[in-house]
Amino acid sequence: MTTQPRHFLDLHRLDGATLRAILDDAAARKAARRGWPQGAVDADAPGKDRVLAMIFEKHSTRTRFSFDAAIRQLGGSAIISTAADMQLGRGESIEDTAKVLSRMVDAIMIRAIEHEEVERLALASTIPVINGLTDKSHPCQILADILTFEEHRGPVTGKTIAWVGDGNNVCASFIHAAPKLGYKLNIACPPIYHPDLVDLARAAQEQGRVEMTDDPREAVRGADCVITDTWVSMGDVDHDERIEALEPFQVDEKLMGEAGPGAVFLHCLPAHRGEEVTDAVIDGPRSLVWDEAENRIHAQKSILAWCFGKIG
């Protein structure tokens, strides 16, 4: 009997203990290498001799550089390509690509246009596949976000997170993790840009505390964390309609003033200053966005370590 690879596809497919083990490992690894150069390898080198393939069908700064830095810090190396430069871009199937890469590398991270491609890649791979963002979700980002929150505000369990704006892929991963990590999630979005209904139904079934409103002030009232994201994600075509519908959902200082006294601000970046967030908030004292960006490295090292069977 062959064992299934440990794929990291979506947070709702993992249990809370696994997510907690990944987060705890990330915090410990980060603390243990404080002050080291970025290229130094962690003492236990859990990715020694491992090769990570990275495939990009969409643009990326943080995911690209943080995964490359992450695998190096674990003692391994990366091979990076856009899908357009591969035979994938000329019509080779995702399944054949999976079978070939499974013979050449030890794990695959893919940023895909359609979520289904990641699922198909995983089904046909004999090595772990990591979702580095699709149209439906962005699980790596949310672990970095929770790591960042907990560094500043302590355990996320029992805390309230307010998502303000588009009910998009990043929002979806916050919904997926809510029942697993036990935070309350208040989502304020315009009705036409609501989150995926299947995600909301699953979270409810798993006793997740997820509340919906179209009033940003109601969502952020007393919250410990306020989060937003771009109003126009990669692949969205209805730019003007989105800007118009989402304009009342801008996170500004007035809105942050309605949140709890120690509330922090997060944004996965890239930000569109003057649209979903003002300069005063993103550059202000409550903003943790640069820690959040750095934490992509630390969270993903522990995701990779879990994929390699070194955690949990």
| Binding residue (CB under 6 A) for ligand NVA from 10, 119, 229, 292 | 229
106: which 2 tokens? Answer: 């030890």
Whichever of 26 and 184 has its CB closer to ligand CP, that residue is: 26
118: which 2 tokens? Answer: 């990641």
Residue 269 sits in the site that holds ligand CP (CB under 6 A): yes
Residue 230 sits in the site that holds ligand NVA (CB under 6 A): yes
SS3 state at 191: helix
Task: Please identify every residue annotated as catalytic.
Answer: 111, 138, 141, 229, 268, 296
- How many CA within 13 A on the CB side of residue 5? 22
Question: Which of the ranges 54-62, 75-83, 117-125, 189-197 carries the binding residues for ligand CP, by CB under 6 A?
Answer: 54-62
Residues 70 to 89 in contact with ligand NVA, rule: CB under 6 A = none
298: which 2 tokens? Answer: 């630390």
Task: Name the binder of 228 from ligand NVA, ligand CP, none, CB < 5-8 A by kind.
Answer: none
Contact by Cβ (8 Å): 147, 125: no
| Binding residue (CB under 6 A) for ligand CP from 12, 14, 26, 60 | 60
Q: Tell me which DSSP letter residue 251 carries.
A: B
| Binding residue (CB under 6 A) for ligand NVA from 170, 172, 226, 246 | 170
Residue 137 sits in the site that holds ligand NVA (CB under 6 A): no
Task: Name the binder of 229 from ligand CP, ligand NVA, none, CB < 5-8 A by kind.
Answer: ligand NVA
Question: Which of the ranges 26-34, 94-102, 147-155, 229-237 carries the binding residues for ligand NVA, by CB under 6 A?
Answer: 229-237
Whichever of 105 and 170 has its CB closer to ligand NVA, that residue is: 170
Q: Which residue is it, tokens 């596809």?
A: 9
- Cβ neighbour number for residue 310 with a 10 Å cutoff: 15
Q: At 185, which amino acid appears?
A: L
What lies within 8 Å, CB to CB, of 153 at 6+ separation is: 159, 224, 225, 262, 264
What lies within 8 Å, CB to CB, of 8 at 6+ separation is: 14, 128, 129, 130, 131, 139, 140, 303, 306, 307
Shortest separation between residue 205's beta carbon and ligand CP, angstroms: 28
Cα–Cα nearest to 161, from 72, 114, 118, 225: 225
Whichever of 243 and 269 has its CB closer to ligand CP, that residue is: 269
- Give residues in contact with ligand NVA (CB under 6 A): 133, 168-170, 229-230, 233-234, 268
Binding site for ligand CP (CB under 6 A): 60-63, 133, 141, 268-269
